[in-house]
Amino acid sequence: MPSRPASAQRMIREEHFRQMKKSAVFVNTGRGATVDEESLIKALQEGWIAHAALDVLEKEPPSHNNPLLRMESTTLTAHVASASARFDEARKRRVGYELSLVLQGMWPVSCVNPSVLQNTKLRRWQPVSMDRGPNS
């Protein structure tokens, strides 16, 4: 990861989440360290915002006990939502396909934590085992 100024560390804090609408969806596809993750977790738990969609986390890979991994109000992707010129066409299509499945109410093909899928309103359509890992 390229170095970034210290001023960018945790620049989105509790005060910012408190100012958002309760219906807000917070999206971070940039740098995980720019968000105070504890404040984000608090904002979701206390209903200051409705949802968080995160492609990056403050610590990657995340700890197994990171609350964001278990929250229904959080959508996580496997750090693949880059918008750079290096983002190849196949990955763009894959991200689009995964999103289209979820938006149609179906399970995505790849899921970092597939055991959470059975607790959602999404429909299972794949004839695959729940024991599969991401991208297998």
CATH number of the domain residue 55 falls in = 3.40.50.720
Residues 92 and 72 in one domain: no
Q: Which of the residue ranges 13-17, 56-60, 127-131 would you say has the lowest mean pLDDT?
A: 127-131
Number of domains in the chain: 2
Candidate list 60, 70, 124, 132, residue with the active-site label: 60
Assess whether pLDDT exceeds 90 at residue 27: yes
Catalytic residue list contains 31: yes
Using the 3D structure, point to which of 76, 100, 125 is the last residue of a domain. Answer: 76
Confidence of residue 2 (pLDDT cuts 50, 70, 90): very low
Residues 53 and 1 in one domain: yes
Catalytic residue list contains 16: no
Residues 70 and 88 in one domain: no
Q: What single string gives the DSSP state of each residue in 49-90?
A: SSEEEES--SSSSPPTT-GGGT-TTEEE--S----STT--HH
Cα 69 to Cα 54, 66, 84, 127, distances in angstroms: 11, 6, 26, 25
Candidate list 10, 16, 79, 94, residue with the active-site label: 79
Catalytic residue list contains 60: yes
Average pLDDT estimate for 11-26: 96
Half-sphere exposure of 81 (CA within 13 A, CB side): 18
Residues 43 and 2 in one domain: yes
Residues 99 and 126 in one domain: yes
Q: Which of the residue ranges 8-22, 36-50, 52-66 would you say has the lowest mean pLDDT?
A: 52-66
Per-residue model confidence (pLDDT) at position 136: 47
Candidate list 10, 16, 31, 94, residue with the active-site label: 31
Assess whether pLDDT exceeds 60 at residue 104: yes
Residues 59 and 9 in one domain: yes
Range of the domain at 91: 84-136
Please report which helix (H) or strand (E) contains residue 28, including its range. strand 25-28
Cα 132 to Cα 5, 43, 71, 84, distances in angstroms: 39, 32, 21, 30
Confidence of residue 85 (pLDDT cuts 50, 70, 90): low
Residues 72 and 88 in one domain: no
Assess whether pLDDT exceeds 60 at residue 95: yes
Using the 3D structure, point to which of 33, 58, 76 is the last residue of a domain. Answer: 76
Q: Please state, in angstroms and rounded to a whole number, the distance separating the CA atoms of residues 8 and 48.
A: 23
